[in-house]
Amino acid sequence: MATRDAQSVMYVWPHMHLLGKSFKSYAVTPTQDTIPLVSIPNWDYKWQEMYRMKKLTKIPARSILTIDGSYDNTSQNPYNPNNPPAVVYSAKNMDSKMEMFTLLMIYVPYKEGMKT
């Protein structure tokens, strides 16, 4: 997804369920700079909380927002709710046994002079 106008990110909220293994999000600006938003290399289901940025993070207009994640749907994953492992997908009921991968962000339009 590309941002149309510059934004100031206040919070990020990564969300996965029990099969999650890693979660990372970043923005790439039109000048090819990378702005990290969140990185959780060893996902824990209990970490799907809202994270406040240390300071407002400016995302310039026309930046590309990316989220990358991985899953562990094997019997070696002690949190896998399916034994043996099963095909898992998101459906209407979104309980912990169904998987998902989302990033919610709380942001405001960027204004020159905003404390970032």
Q: Summarize pLDDT for 84-94 with one digit per residue, the tens.
A: 998 887 666 66
State pLDDT tens for residues 45-92.
887 789 999 999 999 999 999 999 999 999 999 999 999 998 887 666
Sign of the dihedral through C-alpha 74, 75, 76, 81: positive
Cβ-count burial of 59 within 10 angstroms (0-12 exposed, 13-18 middle, 19+ buried)?
buried
Cβ-count burial of 34 within 10 angstroms (0-12 exposed, 13-18 middle, 19+ buried)?
exposed
> Which of these, 100, 98, 102, 101, lies nearest to 82 by C-alpha position?
98
pTM of the predicted model over 0.95: no
Q: Amino acid letter at 35?
A: I
